[in-house]
Structure 1
Amino acid sequence: MARIISFIENEMPEKDELLKKLYPKTGRSYILGVTGSPGAGKSSLVDRLVSEIRKRKETIGIIAVDPTSPFTGGAILGDRIRMNEHALDKGVFIRSMGTRGSLGGLAKTTKEVAKVMDAFGMDWIIIETVGVGQAELDIMYIADTTVVVLTPGAGDSIQTMKAGIMEIADVFAVNKSDMPGSDGVAAEIELMLDLQDDHIKWRPPVVKTSTLNKGEGIGELLVAVEKHRSYLIEKGIFLERRKERAKSEALDIVNYQWQRLVRQQLNLPGRVNQLLEKVASREMDPYSAAALILEWIIADSGLKKNN
């Protein structure tokens, strides 16, 4: 599994064929997203959640998305450093991924890495996002349940009101609840949910957690996640979401392949570069140049424009 993930992350030529072979084995894992601002204690919370899930003898794949090193291109933070309690557990597979310039809190290949873990039979896949704040919304397009982690004393309640984070949260975890102000953060979230109650069918529960000592609220957090899972299944939302994501994924692949096709053409010497030189010298406007480049690519690919 580790080798296949490396192939995918490094965009090796074998990547597409590997994913095609793995696809029939996917669709069984439950994907849990954990997101929130930097320093909210997401990694420690995931560590505690994993311990709780492992009591049931269920297997877990963890994708920890970290900032990318500007020198190596790899993840700056180490996965096993933060979750070393489970590093040698054969029922837990941990993988750190660098964002490699991607915005939205995830790496470009996060979805594909999750598919690999799914195909290898993981019961749960937990994706911990990089923690970038208001733009960190990509997780909602991958996770079945999204836990938004907030902390007292970090201005999180203000951030919550500003960002689209209210819309992506299926469960709120007020972490570091041993600190002063946790009751206030929980109350503010409940107040905001009261204002939105008429517009939402599922009311996200607010769970106070602490990763210190005995891990206060961790069991309750897992129960809240399970309740959301049951809600999705009972209302038929779970299957509907999976169908829509499958359609979107096919279109995403088309878009990616198209971009790759364009990049290949741009790297070739000849008429495209000559055209770009005309744009650079203002002999031609970029819109006309773009239209011509598209026409050439379509013609060279044997595609019909009206298709």
Structure 2
Amino acid sequence: MDVAKELLSGTILAGARAIRWLDDGDPRGARTLAEIFPHTGNAHIIGITGPPGAGKSTLVNALISEQRRRGRRVGVIAIDPSSPFTGGAILGDRVRMGKHTLDPDVFIRSIGTRGQAGGLARSTHDACLILDAMGYDLVLVETVGVGQDEIDVVALAHTTVIVGVPGLGDEIQAVKAGLMEAGDLFVINKADREGYEDTYRQFELMLHLRAESKALSSEDWSPPLLRAVAVKDEGIAEIVDAIDQHKAMLQNTGEFGLRSAQREREQALTLTCTEIMRSIRQSADPAILSAVERREMDPYRASQLLIKNWQEAESPQT
């Protein structure tokens, strides 16, 4: 099978195989990505994130249904936490989205984090490119439950949806300030629960403070605060409407293409850093590291020497 060719024609098996290669670090994945990369940059990447228990998977399931009603092909990347002991992951989000598994215009893939911080898996970016090249109109990326600085999804997505829920105590602390400052849409799910009004007021106040701190002009996007009961499909159409409005704003201002370009630029730098770090670890002088262990050399000085030695080893011999 010519995986790249089949992938560009939308073949599910080819897409699944390419994503597996990329997630496993198989060189065939990188070669396939190189072939399909010029055909990417069209899909609308939508990040769905928030604290554990917010009902993100149920919300994504409802969003898939609404997007399909509007005639759109939908890709889903669901990130599941991997065990720090075995490295395995349950990958259970596909169970919650089971009614879509036979729909040929819906592609759902669960990926384990494998120790990656930031709410995403290492191969999330690459999986999005694969689904983009396969012709999916949008890709929903559901993160694991995230914390204050775990906002990698913001750099990945064109549109970031922050999901909160009543009943977590201090809901704003549960979502965390970093995400509150970066979200494009805010959804309070399970809004039929007791405490919804208090949660709404907390989010409303935080968004008001955010607007004041950024001194929003009339041309800027003002993040909406929406109500949903995803298990009953309540509020889902309004969320998709808001997502569409945000995409239209990005396209009208040229920001859609800019965000896509910035994402690929940062990915290139990330891969470069990873490769350099791997090379430095392999060539590190044990004597320098031993000196640090014995406190005969401080880590800053050791770092400078390790980099210097690596650069000399990599330089062409004269």
Q: TM-score, normalised by structure 1?
A: 0.89
Aligned partners of 2:70 and 2:88: how far apart in 1?
Answer: 33
Write the distance in 2 (CA, Å) between the matches of 1:161 and 1:251.
Answer: 29
Instruction: Give how far 1:173 is off.
Output: 0.7
Give 1:229 deviation, angstroms: 0.9
**Counterpart in the other structure of 1:275:** 288
User: Which residue of the partner structure matches residue 21 of structure 1?
Assistant: 35
Instruction: Check the 8 A contact 2:51/2:175 in 1, yes or no.
Output: no
**Structure 1 residue 236, shift from structure 2 partner:** 2.3
Q: Secondary structure at the match of 2:131?
A: helix
Give 1:263 deviation, angstroms: 2.7
Residue-by-residue CA offset, 1:180-214 (whole Å, 9 max, x unaligned): 2223322332233233334232211111111233x
Mean Cα deviation higher: 120-129 or 5-14: 5-14
**What is the CA distance between 1:161 and its match in structure 2?**
8.0
Residue 116 of structure 1 aligns with an amino acid whose one-letter code is: I
Q: Does 1:217 align with 2:235?
A: yes
Aligned to 2:152: 138
Shift in Å, 1:291: 2.5
Question: Following superposition of structure 1 onto structure 2, how do residues 170-209 of structure 1 map, counting pairs within 5 Å?
Answer: 170-198=184-212, 199=214, 200=216, 201-209=220-228
Q: Deviations over 1:222-258 (max 9, x none)?
A: 0011111111122222222223323222222221221
Q: CA separation in 2, counterparts of 1:31 and 1:53? A: 13
Larger deviation, residues 118-127 vs 279-288: 279-288
Give CA-to-partner distance per residue, 1:137-178, whole Å, 9 cap, x none: 111000111111111121353316852122121111110112
Distance between the aligned counterparts of 1:248 and 1:96, measured in 2? 23
Distance 1:110 1:162, change over 3 A: closer
Structure 1 residue 71 displacement after superposition: 5.0
Whole-angstrom distance in 2 between the partners of 1:195 and 1:92: 39
| Structure 1 unaligned regions, length at least 5 | 267-271
Quick one: distance in 1 between partners of 2:149 and 2:300? 30
1:251 aligns to 2:269 (yes or no): yes
Paired with 1:156 and 1:127, the residues of 2 have a C-alpha distance of 26
Alignment coverage as a number of residue pairs: 298
Match of 1:241 among 250, 259, 262: 259
CA distance in 2, matches of 1:146, 1:298: 40
Q: Larger helix proportion, structure 1 or 2?
A: 2
CA distance in 1: counterparts of 2:199 and 2:292, whole angstroms: 54
Question: Is the Cα contact below 8 Å between 1:36 and 1:149 reproduced in 2?
Answer: yes
Q: Percent identity?
A: 44
Name the residue aligned to 2:304: 291
One-letter code aligned to 1:277: S
* Conserved? CA contact 1:75–1:96, under 8 Å: no
Q: What TM-score results when the alignment is normalised by the length of structure 2?
A: 0.86
Q: Which runs of 5+ in 2 are unaligned?
A: 1-14
Amino acid at match of 1:212: V
* Greater CA drift, 247-256 or 97-106: 247-256
